[in-house]
């Protein structure tokens, strides 16, 4: 034991201390929520368990199950089609299938509510022939979330299929297996890690959703957290619900890891040959265009048409000084948050690499757990420790220096930035880490042998080589912050407004058409990174 401690002391350097500091700073909100689980709920917990808790659990599980089935169907089938077959407009369809990600799920929910409403787009197109149906329920929410989130599965599956071993496919065919059997018995099992990886992101987004569920009147864990915090004014119960949700999320992740066990899914690089695309028959082309057309049409084109129509009707009343100010605030906050998150991610990647205490390597991934936690939970996790810090600082200044001032962090932009960093650290960390691993260590070692220090080597040698990953991280975090709703609703300062919050407030006030213009601006900012993402996949 003493020997191990001596080894730890010997290997600890300044980078070890900085790495541990960043990990602790990022994980404080997550562990705060986990610890609060042992404190118990508030006074209204018994009432909630007797009335709405079952609804929270049932609806959340139904949403997870329904969106999983539809996202797997849309995502995997379309990924296989564009990877396996050569057909007209295939390259255009490849990136069109990702475009539903540019529209936040709550925006698609608003659009569909208007489409099927009396006097809506569906009634006008069909001349009121079709019977009316209601989307403002769990079934409608499952459809909305699935049609907007399936690209997570599509992107992950397609990235695997493009690198799939052609020899495996050929060997299976030589053994007498048909294409259908080969796909289901060989290709899909091998693609399981990629498919499940995309599906986990879908499930995290479903549990994070607040705007769509609230507008459709579906009670979920996230809407319950907001209700307990704001309507019941009982933070203890909201925190307890948040802690339960965190437990559910980690159970889901644990089950996935356990199911995978130690099975190897690797394919020998020696057997890798490209998977040659087939030319489909005329009948198969019709089936292909049906499969790829449905998610593009219902996930992007129809909602976009509805939003443009509403925007043309309301732009004169919506565009004013207040709207322009909101747009500028939204862009500024997103850019500032993206820069701050990328700087923290860079520090975490390289401080970990420069530290000699290898045990810290196991803790680095803990710093990226925030993306697996719903935004509302992160917001509450940030509120508690920062409020304690503010109270301590205010008491210190008042008792020692007789100075009385307001809060330092809570209710300011600092708390919001901190929460964004915790929430989207994984979005910035993963592309930067992926690019940094491709830098040959001999290059940096040669620089150090020539007398250059660690920081000088980084700025002169490594930074130019990883710029692609840094730019990708900046763009992705910027778009995610622009779309984030639950976290922003809880933590934003009173005088600060964002496009996501403005669209939500318009919809909540039954001004659904006025929500179209801020929604379209959010969509516009998301198109560029989608094009960038498609190029990265092709490379």
Q: What digits encode the pLDDT tens for the residues 61-88?
A: 999 999 999 999 999 999 888 888 888 8
Q: Is 137 exposed, middle or buried (0-12, 13-18, 19+ CB in 10 A)?
A: exposed
Judge whether residue 519 has pLDDT over 60. Answer: yes
- Predicted TM-score (pTM) of this structure: 0.81
What is the rounded (10 degree) CA torsion for 349, 352, 355, 356? -130
What does the alpha-carbon distance between residue 115 and residue 120 come to, in Å, rounded to a whole number? 5
Q: Cα-atom radius of gyration of the chain, to the nearest Å?
A: 25
Q: Which of the residue ranges 25-39, 59-73, 112-126 would you say has the lowest mean pLDDT?
A: 112-126
Inter-residue contact 489 to 93 (CB < 8 Å): no
CA distances from 536 to 103, 317, 398, 468 (A): 21, 40, 55, 10
pLDDT of residue 179 exceeding 90, the answer is no
- Cβ neighbors of 501 (< 8 A, separation 6 or more) are 485, 488, 489, 492
- Tens digit of pLDDT for each residue in 482-507? 888 888 988 888 888 898 888 888 88
Mean pLDDT of 25-36: 83
Candidates 159, 154, 151; CA nearest to 101 is 151
DSSP string, 474-508: HHHHHHHHHH--HHHHHHS-TT---HHHHHHHHHH
Give the position of tokens 């998150």: 341
- Name the residue with tokens 């979920």: 220
Name the strand (E) or helix (H) holding 266.
Answer: none
Give the lowest-confidence range in 289-293, 390-394, 402-406: 402-406
Q: Is 332 helix (H, G, I), strand (E, B) or coil?
A: helix
The answer, yes or no, to whether residue 33 has pLDDT greater than 50, is yes
pLDDT at 241 over 70: yes
CA distance 222 to 301: 29
CB atoms < 10 A from the CB of 328, how many?
Answer: 10
Nearest of 505, 509, 512 to residue 118 by alpha carbon: 512
Look at residue 405 in the predicted model and tell me its pLDDT.
63
């Amino acid at each position: 034991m003493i020997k191990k401690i001596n080894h730890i002391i010997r290997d600890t350097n300044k980078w070890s201390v900085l790495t541990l500091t960043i990990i602790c700073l990022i994980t404080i909100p997550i562990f705060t929520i986990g610890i609060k689980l042992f404190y118990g709920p508030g006074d209204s917990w018994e009432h909630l368990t007797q009335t709405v808790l079952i609804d929270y659990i049932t609806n959340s599980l139904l949403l997870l199950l329904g969106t999983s089935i539809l996202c797997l169907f849309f995502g995997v089938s379309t990924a296989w089609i564009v990877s396996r077959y050569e057909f007209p407009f295939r390259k255009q369809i490849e990136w069109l299938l990702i475009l539903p990600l540019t529209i936040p799920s709550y925006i698609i929910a608003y659009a569909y509510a208007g489409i099927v409403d009396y006097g809506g787009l569906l009634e006008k197109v069909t001349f009121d022939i079709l019977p009316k149906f209601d989307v403002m329920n769990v079934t409608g929410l499952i459809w909305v979330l699935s049609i907007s989130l399936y690209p997570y599965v599509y992107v992950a599956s397609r990235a695997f299929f493009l690198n799939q071993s052609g020899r495996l496919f050929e060997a299976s065919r030589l053994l007498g297996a048909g294409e259908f059997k080969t796909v289901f018995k060989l290709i899909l099992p091998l693609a399981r890690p990629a498919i499940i990886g995309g599906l986990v992101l879908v499930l995290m987004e479903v549990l994070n959703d607040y705007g769509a569920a609230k507008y459709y009147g579906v009670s979920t864990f996230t809407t319950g957290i907001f209700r307990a915090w704001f309507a019941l004014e009982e933070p203890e119960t909201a925190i307890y619900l948040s802690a339960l949700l965190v437990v559910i999320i980690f159970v889901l992740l644990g089950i996935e890891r356990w199911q995978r066990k130690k099975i190897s899914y690797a394919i020998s690089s020696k057997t890798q040959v490209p998977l040659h695309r087939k030319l489909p028959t005329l009948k198969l082309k019709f089936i292909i265009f049906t499969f790829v057309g449905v998610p593009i049409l219902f996930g992007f084109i129809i909602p976009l048409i509805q939003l443009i129509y509403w925007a043309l009707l309301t732009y004169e009343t919506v565009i004013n000084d207040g709207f322009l100010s909101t747009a500028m605030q939204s862009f500024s906050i997103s850019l500032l948050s993206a820069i701050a998150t990328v700087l923290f991610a860079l520090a975490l990647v390289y401080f970990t690499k420069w530290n000699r205490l290898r045990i810290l390597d196991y803790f680095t991934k803990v710093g990226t757990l925030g993306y697996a936690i719903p935004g509302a939970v992160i917001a509450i996790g940030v509120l508690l420790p920062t409020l304690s810090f503010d109270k301590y600082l205010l008491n210190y200044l008042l008792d020692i220096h007789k100075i009385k001032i307001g809060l330092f962090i809570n209710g300011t932009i600092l708390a919001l930035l901190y929460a964004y960093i915790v929430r989207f650290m994984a979005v910035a960390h993963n592309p930067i880490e992926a690019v940094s691993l491709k830098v040959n260590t001999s290059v940096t070692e040669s620089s150090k042998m020539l007398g250059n220090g660690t920081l000088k080597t980084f700025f002169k040698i490594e930074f130019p080589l990883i710029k692609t990953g840094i730019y990708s991280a900046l763009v992705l975090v910027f778009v995610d912050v622009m779309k984030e709703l639950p976290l922003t609703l809880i933590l934003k300062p009173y005088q600060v407004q964002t496009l996501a919050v403005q669209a939500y407030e318009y919809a909540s006030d039954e001004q659904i058409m006025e929500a179209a213009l801020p929604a379209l601006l959010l969509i516009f900012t998301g198109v560029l990174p989608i094009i960038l993402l498609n190029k990265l996949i092709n490379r």
